[in-house]
Amino acid sequence: MSDPYPNCQVNGQAVLSIVGGMEVVQARALRILAENGISPLKPEGWYPLTHVLNSFKLIFEKIGPSTVRAIGRKTPDTARFPPDIDSLEKGLRAIDVAYHMAHRGSEQIGGYHFEPRDRRSAKMMCDNPYPCDFDLGMVEAICDRFRPKDALWVRIEHDPKSCRRRGDTSCTYLITW
């Protein structure tokens, strides 16, 4: 099977979220990355997107979806985000900005598309090549970090109408607060 992203690379700072999300088993994370040609892992390095995606596939198969989700939750801690984020909407919109800052070599990698629905709800459509558990974790982390002060909680639901795990081109998350 040919590589759908032959020229696309991911910066090492973003790949470090895999190690950060696997806190208890960091040595295992580094082994999985090395098995996929990502060694040594350097924050300033650039690595083939296909190698990163293959690492996620192994993590999902060998350890499980909750670990992939934990990696997503850690990503905002290690990825470069714009500095002026002070609201939930800006935080959710910034995921796409940070995603494109962390990748180079291809514009055909999809993204994270925020759409407000009303004053207290929105949706996030993710049409990138990463696993949906990863995206859910990242959206959760941003919602936790930028929860509106007048909201007791932020609820995130995976819209059952679209899921990449089933072969769809995107996943959509419905967000209410």
Q: Do 60 and 111 fall within a single domain?
A: no
Closest CA to 131 of 70, 83, 80: 70
Residues 111 and 157 in one domain: yes
- Is the same domain home to 28 and 71? yes
74 within some domain? yes
Question: What is the tally of structural domains in the chain?
Answer: 2
Give the pLDDT confidence of 92-149 residue by residue, as tens digits. 999 999 999 999 998 789 999 999 999 999 999 999 999 999 999 999 999 999 999 9
Write the pLDDT tens digit of every residue in 53-83: 999 999 999 999 999 999 999 999 877 677 7
Q: Which amino acid is at 8?
A: C
Its pTM stands at 0.93
119 falls within a domain:
yes
**C-alpha count within 13 angstroms, C-beta hemisphere, residue 51:** 21
* 169 and 119 share one domain: yes
Find the domain containing 115 and state its range.
105-176
- Same domain membership, residue 126 and residue 63: no
Contact 176/121 with Cβ under 8 angstroms?
yes
Is 87 part of any domain?
Answer: no
- For residue 176 the two structure tokens come to 């209410």
